[in-house]
Structure 1
């Protein structure tokens, strides 16, 4: 556990576990729950929104120096250093890992939500969607790029069908 400048305890492993739990619940709903507006709202606001809010708060606390990043004896981060060394220094701390991982979780769940809505709108069944959603959950951009390739043919066919002759 880590202490902020003000003596408050910051438990990075606990936060890591909570963000993972929120993401897993969102993905479970996306994969197994009925696709209804209420379900989509829970995933969007209770999953993606909560992860985004958590990310924003943690980032402000970390950049503002209000919490200890979890690396005893290290110099303060240079947040303008976007070199490999600068990013490695940030991700070499518990705080950097939790903040970065929360970023990934939020965006991957948002992309999964988009894929499911897009697939539903294009008439793809849930069994066809499942591998792309699981791949997006496990490897984000890989699931997305494969979905973009698969959806393209049907998207063009649907667009041609809607175009007046």
Structure 2
């Protein structure tokens, strides 16, 4: 359990560093920003893969993960295991950060002011999909995108 607690702290602080880069996006040179965010996301992905695929030795003895992904009850049962909860948390950290990176780079390519993005980035950090939804609405208003969602 000690390893899982340390991994939780390390991945949280690493993701927070990535969010600080995103919030201060225009202040960073493009190359340094891209390199640092790429390294952070890659680290989170590696931590996720280790936790989920190789981290079984960190399970509580005699309490292997039970449950599955095909019913709500199965997911609730699965997430009673500390290692699975950590894996799920790292999944959130990595994907929300990638959504934040998408928002920042897409807005920059459309000429949307970074200052307007700060509420959407904060909402993405805290509530993932709600922040993306806010950004997509902002993009309709400020970015002139009237051809549907057009994520790419």
Q: One fold, TM greater than 0.5?
A: yes
Equivalent residue, structure 1, for 2:52: 59
User: How far does residue 35 in structure 1 lie from its aligned partner after superposition?
Assistant: 4.9
User: How far does residue 78 in structure 1 lie from its aligned partner after superposition?
Assistant: 4.7
Structure of higher CA gyration radius: 1
Q: TM-score, normalised by structure 1?
A: 0.78
Flag the structure with higher helix content.
Answer: 2
User: How far does residue 82 in structure 1 lie from its aligned partner after superposition?
Assistant: 2.6
Equivalent residue, structure 2, for 1:156: 145
Equivalent residue, structure 1, for 2:7: 15
Match of 2:101 among 105, 108, 113: 113
User: How far does residue 140 in structure 1 lie from its aligned partner after superposition?
Assistant: 0.3
Q: TM-score, normalised by structure 2?
A: 0.84
1:98 lines up with 2:86 in the alignment = yes
1:156 aligns to what SS in structure 2? coil
Root-mean-square deviation (CA, aligned residues, Å) is 2.0
User: How far does residue 85 in structure 1 lie from its aligned partner after superposition?
Assistant: 2.1
Unpaired segments ≥5 residues, structure 2: 147-152
Cα deviation digits, residues 68-112 of structure 1 (max 9, x gap): 423x543x3356553222211221121111100000000000000
- Paired with 1:109 and 1:94, the residues of 2 have a C-alpha distance of 22
1:26 lines up with 2:18 in the alignment = yes
Q: Return closer, same or farther for 1:78/1:92 CA change in 2, 3 Å cut-off.
A: closer
1:77 aligns to what SS in structure 2? coil
4+ runs of 1 displaced by more than 6 Å? Answer: none
Unpaired segments ≥5 residues, structure 1: 2-9, 158-165
**What count of residue pairs does the alignment treat as equivalent?**
143
2:8 aligns to what SS in structure 1? helix
1:104-143 to structure 2, matched below 5 A, reads 104-143=92-131
User: How far does residue 11 in structure 1 lie from its aligned partner after superposition?
Assistant: 1.3
